[in-house]
Amino acid sequence: MVNYRLARSVNKWLDIIPPALYPPRCRLCDDPGADGLDLCRGCRADLPWNTPCCPHCALPGDGALPCPCRQSPLPFRAAVVPLRYEGPAERLITAFKFHGRLADGQLLGALLADAVRRDAAPLPAAVVPVPLHARRLRQRGFDQTAELARAVRRRLPPLPLCRALRRRDGDARQATRSARARRSAIRGAFSARPGRVPGHVALLDDVVTTGATAAEAARTLRAAGVQRVDLWALARTP
C-alpha cells in the first residue's frame, strides 16, 4: 500500500518550495523540465497526443467517418482526453495509479488542465471524480481520481470538488472484460449522494477504455438532476 499521507505531505512542500530551489526534472528522462513542469520539451513532444479525436467521446480517429458514438447518444456532452493510453503516457499513468507515484499524477493533472483550458468551453460549475469503491480504496491507499482533481484545479480558475457519486460496485476486474461485459457489469454501479449538485459538472476519470464506466456515472448524475455532464480524463485507449 502507498504511504499516501507521506506522499501528499511531500507534494505539498514541493508546491511551496520556490522552483529555483527545486527545479523541475523530467519524469521520463530526468533532464531539466520545461515550462514549470516535470517534463522536458522533447518528451512532451513524444507523448501520444490524442489528436485528432471525436470531440464527444474522445475516440481516436481522423474524422473521415462518423464516430460510432453518433449512433448511440452519450450521456455526456463533450470530452477532453488529451492522451492516448500507450507508450510514455501509459507508463506515467501506471506508475501513478498502481505504484503510488503521486508526482507523476501531478504532472498528468497539469497536462489535463492545459487541455481543459484550451478545449473546454464553457467551464463547468464543479468537478466530480469517478469514485473508487471503499474496498479498492483500502487496497490502493489513495484515490487517484481525487488526486487528479486536485492537480487539475490548481491550474484552473476555482472549481469546487463535488463528491456527488458513491460506488456500489466493488469489482476491480473491469480491465479484463469485453466491451459488452463492461457495460453489463457497470449498470447500477453508482448512486448519487444526497445534496445539491450543480447543473453543469465535469466528470473526471483517469483512463477511458470503452466509455462504459464514464457513461454509467454520467447517467447517474443526469438522473440526480444535472443538466450537462462533460468528461475529462487523462487518456483514451486506441
Task: Report the DSSP beta bridge partners of residue 129.
Answer: 204
**pLDDT confidence of residue 15:** 52
Q: Residue 232 falls within a domain, yes or no?
A: yes
What residues contact residue 49 under an 8 Å CB cut-off, 6+ apart? 82, 83, 84
Question: Are 237 and 53 in contact, with CB atoms under 8 Å apart?
Answer: no
Q: What pLDDT, in 10s, does the model give residues 192-204?
A: 988 888 999 999 9
The enclosing domain of 129 has a CATH number of: 3.40.50
Residue 77: domain span: 25-236
Tens-place pLDDT, residues 106-127: 999 999 999 999 999 899 999 9
**Which of residues 231 and 61 earns the better pLDDT score?**
231
pLDDT tens digits, 41-70: 999 999 999 999 999 999 998 767 788 888
pTM of the model: 0.86
Q: How far is CA 200 from CA 3, 101, 203, in A?
A: 35, 31, 10
Is there a cis peptide before residue 157, judged by omega within 30 degrees of 0?
no
Q: Count of domains in the chain?
A: 1
The grid coordinates listed for 122 are: 464553457
- Does residue 205 fall inside a structural domain? yes
Q: How far apart are CA 85 and CA 103, in angstroms?
A: 19
Name residues whose C-beta falls within 8 Å of residue 4's C-beta, 6 or more positions apart in sequence.
100, 141, 142
Residue 25 has pLDDT above 80, yes or no: yes
